[in-house]
Chains A and B, each alone.
Chain A
Amino acid sequence: MKKLIISSVILFASFITNAQITKAELTATGLTCSMCSKATYKQLTSIPEVEKVETDLNKTAFLLHFKKGSTVNVGDLKQKVEDAGFSVGELVVVFDFNNQKAENNSSFTQDNITYTFIDSKPGVLTGEVKVKVLDKGFVTEKEYKKLQKLAKQYPSYAAESNNQYHIKLL
């Protein structure tokens, strides 16, 4: 499996780009109560890169705005939600791209984190673009079970690494 991952990394040699995460829409799962939601909110606001958090209490959704020029690792967001006692059901991240080439199985690296496009139409991305994170712990358990079969087509998907994420253009 490791060989596969390494070869795929070489095959789709990723290149350093200029793609900033500016916002994230996070839906938390496993909760309905306002106290639970507030616990999650407090955790998310404690992330240094977060400028402000807007909430949709009925959907247990949080819109995070990040500080300009900050380095965001989406794994930190997941960790904070889990610290509050809940899970991430959906994470949509807004990238600010600058002529980013996108096609299935192509990757780019930003701040030492590699993002691989999955199930995405090819094109060149500029400006704010929404992508959905498909890795384990960023989707509901049911959805992850369906996504697991992607591992054949995208070998790195099974790696569950803390500095490699798989994203789908929305």
Chain B
Amino acid sequence: MPQKVTTNTILNCFDMKKLFFVIIVFVSLKVKAQELFVFTEPASNMPGKSLGIRDMNAFMFEKDGQLNYHNMPELMWGINKKWMVHVQGFISNRQEGGLKAEGGSFYAKYRFLSKDDIQSHFRMAAYGRFSFNNADIHQQEIETMGHNTGFETGIIATQLLHKIAISSSLSYERALDNTSKHKFPESESNSAVNYTLSAGKLMLPKTYTSYKQTNMNLMLELLGQRLNGNGRSYLDIAPSVQFIINSQARVDIGYRQELYSTIKRTAPNGIVLKLEYTFFNVFK
């Protein structure tokens, strides 16, 4: 178990003033915004009647020096303007014996509010995910994306203005026994509240002339969790760069860094590489 962390040590971990400065500089730049975030989902859905494929690769640094590799292939379906669903598989090398398929998840998102205006919108969505995972439970952090069997449900609000996109989410996450052999420890908190804040902006192109132009976006995201059972928490910062090629393919490169944590986590920091491709109008 980690030692109790005081507010002082949290501030020492990362200078909050610097963080605010970074955010303010980020939001004040006069550019168009993007909301295809790397570490979180926006309230907007992918286009209706379209199919997307995504492959997320996470290279996480174990505190004992080893490298955890997680591969999470994902199939995404925009059913209509209100509903989209994902199915995802979880593969990792975290257990003995190399790469192993550990589980999968089903995700659905429902957009229930949409206020559109010229180059701006405000949207809200509700989502739910159910995941299963056969790996051992090895940390206090609850993560139904590739670690825990369990479910997560929450709401997302996204504001797009000419110059900035900001998105925030709040969710409840509940861990269940991974398998009969890998039960969730009774002594640990099996539920958590997650909160995120994301901002994104378009760097290139300065003016659009064609769909073939490669877009470059910069994102900055804050990802937090608080365990309901014991009040322990963590907060991560995750900057990323994104390239959109031919208005159809996405390459995201992100880095996730723990700002503070009173939760025991085995590999919080690491690099994420996401590849995504959208097939428009697959369904009539």
Partners in one complex: yes
- Chain A positions near chain B (C-beta within 8 angstroms): 27, 29-43, 46, 55, 57-58, 60, 82-87, 89, 140-142
A-B contacts, 20 listed (Cβ < 8 Å)? A27-B118, A29-B116, A30-B116, A30-B120, A32-B32, A32-B119, A32-B160, A34-B247, A35-B36, A35-B244, A35-B247, A38-B280, A42-B281, A43-B280, A46-B281, A55-B211, A83-B81, A84-B48, A85-B44, A142-B117
Closest B residue to A34 by CB, please name it.
B247
- Chain B positions near chain A (C-beta within 8 angstroms): 32-36, 44-50, 78, 80-81, 114-121, 160, 162, 202, 207-211, 213, 215, 244, 247-248, 250, 278, 280-281
Besides A35-B36, A38-B211, 14 new A-B residue pairs in contact (Cβ under 8 A), listed by A number: A29-B121, A30-B116, A31-B160, A33-B35, A34-B213, A35-B247, A39-B280, A41-B211, A43-B281, A83-B49, A85-B45, A85-B78, A87-B114, A89-B118
Complex-state Cα separation, A29 to B116, whole angstroms: 6
Complex-state Cα separation, A84 to B247, whole angstroms: 14
Complex-state Cα separation, A96 to B78, whole angstroms: 37
* Complex contacts, B215 vs chain A, CB 8 Å: 33-35
Complex-state Cα separation, A30 to B215, whole angstroms: 18
Cross-chain contact B119 with A31 (CB below 8 angstroms)? yes
* Complex contacts, B44 vs chain A, CB 8 Å: 85
Known: A57-B211, A83-B47, A86-B116. A32 touches B80 (CB 8 A): no
Chain A proximity of B112: nearest CB distance (Å): 14
Complex-state Cα separation, A42 to B50, whole angstroms: 10
Cross-chain contact B211 with A30 (CB below 8 angstroms)? no
* Complex contacts, A46 vs chain B, CB 8 Å: 281
Known: A30-B117, A35-B247, A41-B211. A85 touches B47 (CB 8 A): yes
Complex-state Cα separation, A36 to B165, whole angstroms: 14
Cross-chain contact B116 with A32 (CB below 8 angstroms)? no
Which 4 interchain pairs have the tightest Cβ spacing? A30-B116, A57-B208, A39-B47, A38-B247
Cross-chain contact A57 with B280 (CB below 8 angstroms)? no
* Complex contacts, B281 vs chain A, CB 8 Å: 42-43, 46
Cross-chain contact A82 with B117 (CB below 8 angstroms)? no
* Complex contacts, B213 vs chain A, CB 8 Å: 34
Known: A29-B119, A38-B247. A85 touches B207 (CB 8 A): no
Cross-chain contact A140 with B118 (CB below 8 angstroms)? yes
* Complex contacts, A32 vs chain B, CB 8 Å: 32-34, 119, 160, 162, 202
- Residue in B32, B116, B211, B280 with the greatest tally of chain A CB atoms within 10 Å: B116
Complex-state Cα separation, A84 to B207, whole angstroms: 23
* Complex contacts, B278 vs chain A, CB 8 Å: 35, 39
Cross-chain contact A89 with B117 (CB below 8 angstroms)? yes
* Complex contacts, B48 vs chain A, CB 8 Å: 83-85
Known: A39-B50, A140-B118, A141-B116. A33 touches B209 (CB 8 A): no
Closest A residue to B214 by CB, please name it.
A34
Which single member of A42, A43, A60, A82 contacts B119 (CB below 8 Å)? Answer: A60
Closest A residue to B115 by CB, please name it.
A141
Cross-chain contact A57 with B116 (CB below 8 angstroms)? no
